[in-house]
Amino acid sequence: MDYGSSSPVDSRVLDAMKPYFDKEFANPSSIHPAGRSAKKVLESARASVAELVGAPEPKNIIFTSCATESNNLALRGAALRYRKKGNHIITTSIEHMSVMNPLKSLGKEGFEVTHVPVDSEGMLDVEQVKSAITEKTILISVLYANGEFGTIQPVREIAEVSSDLDIIFHVDGTAACGKIPVDVEKDNIDLLTISSNDIYGPKGAGALYIKHGVGIMPSILGGGQEYGMRSGSENIPGIIGMGKAAELTRNEMKKESERLSGLRDKLIGDILKMEYTHLTGHRTERLANIASFRFDFIEGESIILGLNSRGIYASTGSACSSKTLEPSHALIALGLKHEEAHGSLLLTLGKFNTEEDADYVIETLPGIVERLRSMSPLKPGKVR
């Protein structure tokens, strides 16, 4: 129940990758036949990722090592490229740390960053984005959907605003790509971050869509690979895997999303029958694979340990920020108190989850919560 922090590699993806670790090991920059063969499969994978997100041409896709690198390349690359036009960047209060931290770094380099708040369900108000724009605004960065509570943002409406004012629009599509249809042309997106592992491809691979006419400064300089945007010998096995994963995801997404939404709704319906239990995120505008809850009077870490003892693996929030004892900044941005955010449970579903899995969680969780509440010094009436 923790596919959000890591997903297994689909066996069909692994099969596609295997020859490129030993038998087909050539560098795609080499001009001999083996190199040309590697170049061909590289470009085939690029075309597959482009098709997944509706990119008009394969060359709009730049391969990176992960979604974090893609976010960094997009944000720093666009900010530095358009610095002469202005120094103001707009983002939201619920972005992933791979967006938050690069923007914090840019703030130390003379850029001004505005974090637009969200409502209690994690939804962004387009009018507030409009109000935050100044004459110096050069970049707007918004996640397509939040990976901690699943709320899907009004990306097309924000794109209309940025497009009308000639402001670069970056979207972190890590949680959304492969879960819901993402079309960079229909959505009018300038830069889109895509993750391999979130679509059952290998770790160590990611991609950035760059719209024609949008210029960014490269962050890794060298031999000029990836159209000069990301130098270094390409990770061919990883890229092949991401390409195959994109192909499979594109073909299977609709059916799989319908299946997962059924499991998600079953979990939500039954878990909310428990007293002092709350759903986190928007009830309907949410990803099919995410069910996020808050339990009064107990801590999420204790729930996780209880679930672990029964063979259920889950999370309290983003795995990328779990090294600290602080509650998730995204949950705090919903208006939750620290003690409320600490009582969070995040269930992220994947293609290998079954209805029996959901039944087992529904059967197991109430007993764990009841036991923890019986030991908690916090009781109804002591916290709101």
pLDDT tens for each residue of 124-168: 999 999 999 999 999 999 999 999 999 999 999 999 999 999 999
CA distances from 57 to 6, 16, 186, 204 (A): 29, 23, 15, 23
Q: What is the pTM of this model?
A: 0.95
**Residues 194-205: tens digit of each pLDDT:** 999 999 999 999
177 given a catalytic annotation? no
Given 228, 320, 326, 354, which residue is catalytic? 320
Task: Please report the pLDDT score of residue 327 as a whole number.
Answer: 82
How much of the chain is in helix, strand and coil states, percent to nearest 5?
Answer: 40, 15, 40
Task: Please report the pLDDT score of residue 378 as a whole number.
Answer: 72
Domains within the chain, CATH numbers bracketed: 11-249 (3.40.640.10), 253-375 (3.90.1150.10)
Asked whether residue 374 carries a pLDDT value surpassing 50, the answer given is yes
Q: Are 81 and 103 in contact (CB under 8 A)?
A: no
Task: State the Cα–Cα distance between residues 280 and 19, nearest whole angstrom.
Answer: 44
Q: Are 70 and 44 in contact (CB under 8 A)?
A: no
Asked whether residue 383 carries a pLDDT value surpassing 50, the answer given is no
Per DSSP (E only), the strands in the chain are 61-64, 88-92, 112-116, 137-143, 168-172, 191-195, 206-210, 277-279, 290-295, 344-348
**Residues 238-253: tens digit of each pLDDT:** 999 999 999 999 999 9
Identify the CA nearest to 164 among candidates 119, 126, 215. Answer: 126
Specify the 3-state DSSP secondary structure of 367. Answer: helix
